[in-house]
Amino acid sequence: MISNPILRGFHPDPSIVRVGDDFYIATSTFEWFPGVLVHHSKDLVHWRPLTSILTRSSQLNMEGNVDSGGAWAPCLSYHDGIFYLIYTDVKSRKGAFKDTHNYMVTASDIMGPWSEPIYLNSSGFDPSLFHDEDGRQWLVNMIWDHRKGTNSFAGIILQEYSKDEKKLIGPKTNIFRGTQLRLTEGPHIYKRNGYYYLLTAEGGTQYNHAVTMARSRHIDGPYEVDPANPILTSAGKPELELQKAGHASLVETQNGEWYMVHLVGRPVKDQLCMLGRETAIQRCHWTDDDWLAVDGGGNWPQSKVQAPRLPSHPFPAEPSVDRFDRAELGLQWNTLRIPASPDWLSLTARPGFLRLWGQESMSSTHRQSLVARRQQSMYCEAETSMEYRPEHYQQMAGLILYYDTRDYVYLRVTHHEELGTCIGIIRSIDGVYDELLDQDIPLGEGTYRLKVNIQRDKAKFMYAVQDGEWNEIGPELDVSHLSDEYAEYIRFTGNFIGMCVQDLSGERKHADFDDFRYEELT
């Protein structure tokens, strides 16, 4: 059996492709760098992070991008020996307008090197490339209508892509304006038994999210809607473990078995999903009248799914401790908006340590010195050892729980004119800054060990100096604001746990991190 979700923590908008005996899933990364993470499997049961595709600023320049902007809804495909990745770089997303630029990169090997991007259009988001049997290639994306009194999700646009000219050509056709669920997005086209199938996401990427299907004998329509729509949804079933089911992608195994990967959310409490939107999988079948249905007799996501008839292929477990003894950061690590470059991050300046030079504040959408990983379990613990000699209150470093520029909780070491080097907790909830101790705690010089323990929506911080005893610091905190649904506007990235350094004086004071442990407790 397959246990859902198959990709836990922030791994939304999955796009799956099979090449021979290998399965690959690409997922959105939003403002986190590098862009578009790829997981690999040989049996659809066991998955490992394999590579990131957008590793250069020339492919994805996100400096200044808004929170929950950046790399949206990738589409990974393979045709005639070439991998194609289509993605959106979202520059703005609030209000009537959305600036959404769509690009393509290619590679002959999933591990790269991936090409420089080819610009496609900016008419909407969720672009997807379909390779037809006659050799023609077609791009579909949702189109955004900013005008007052209109349906902003104005339909799915189809246009041909010319491989020779490296651009879109010919007419643009609105092939599908959606069902009564509205908010039509996430299009993918498949071909089977003479039908073009258009798979879409509808209902919005929250608790009314759904997967819908339409089909046509011609790629440009007209498309008839599946009478059984939605073919997958969690809407109206609050008892399900897997909520928010939608934004799907299909794959056929070597044995002719069909599976659907899709995003889900698992609330820690009150419909608040700290882990972000995750990836799950469902086994599917084709009905006698050539429509797709999920197994199990209903249209809701199952937590346990029958595995395909393929040999089991587990991967070694990832180590819980990173001692920063490699030349590059591991795949679990992410930086905010900018690449991990030697001007602010080094694994060689002091071998065996991660050195971060302080840059801008946690409110910055430009240059933060922050290295973090996804929270992937509701019960987990993280710990790091840090050497740091701050000389001014504008210099800070430590262990952070980070959702975005408006929501974070930070166990930070800094300097105080009277206390010297000291430690305290600062927090931002919906943009409101707070200091959680009446007075920071003096530390003296040494190596500082910092720890956080998370139990669903609660977190407890601890610190130690050198090899001394652990000391609890501050109260048990409600950290449910580090969730997709907490803000008054929709956001998408889930909670991250990591290390960061700020130097608001511009002197670029550095901190050295000796190790980082992340351990799931259940």
Q: Any idea which residues carry the catalytic annotation?
A: 13, 185
What are the two backbone dihedrals, phi and then psi, of residue 133, each rounded to the nearest 5 degrees? -65, -25
Which ranges constitute the DSSP H helices of 17-108? none
- Cβ pair 61, 113 in contact under 8 A: no
User: Residue 455 class from Cβ within 10 Å (0-12 exposed, 13-18 middle, 19+ buried)?
Assistant: middle
Cβ density class 432-452: b for 16+ within 10 Å, e for less: eeeebeeebeebeeeebbbbb
Q: Which residues of 99-132 are buried (b: 16+ CB within 10 A; e: fewer)?
A: ebbbbbbebeebeeebeebeebbbbbbbbbbbbe
- Can you give the C-alpha Rg of the chain in angstroms? 23
Q: Which residue has the tokens 């473990």?
A: 241
Residue 231 to residue 200: CA distance in whole angstroms? 10
Give the bridge partners for 159, in sequence order: 139
In angstroms, the CA 34 to CA 25 distance is 16
Nearest Cα residue to 103 out of 124, 83, 127, 131? 127
Q: Read off the tokens for 325.
A: 């003894």
Strands of the sheet containing 128-131, edge to edge, are: 128-131, 137-144, 153-162, 167-176
Work out the number of other CB atoms within 10 angstroms of the CB of residue 55.
18
Q: What is the Cβ-side half-sphere exposure of residue 383, based on CA atoms within 13 angstroms?
A: 14
Closest CA to 365 of 27, 12, 11, 32: 32
Is there a contact between 159 and 143 (Cβ–Cβ < 8 Å)? no
Round to whole Å and give the CA distance between 7 and 277.
10
Q: What are phi and psi of 216, to 5 degrees?
A: -155, 155
Instruction: Write the DSSP symbol of residue 272.
Output: B
Collapsed DSSP state (helix, strand, coil) of residue 457: coil
Query: In angstroms, rounded to a whole number, what is the distance separating the alpha carbons of residues 159 and 75?
Result: 16
With contact defined as beta carbons under 8 Å apart, do 460 and 428 qualify? no
103 within 8 A of 115, measured Cβ to Cβ = no
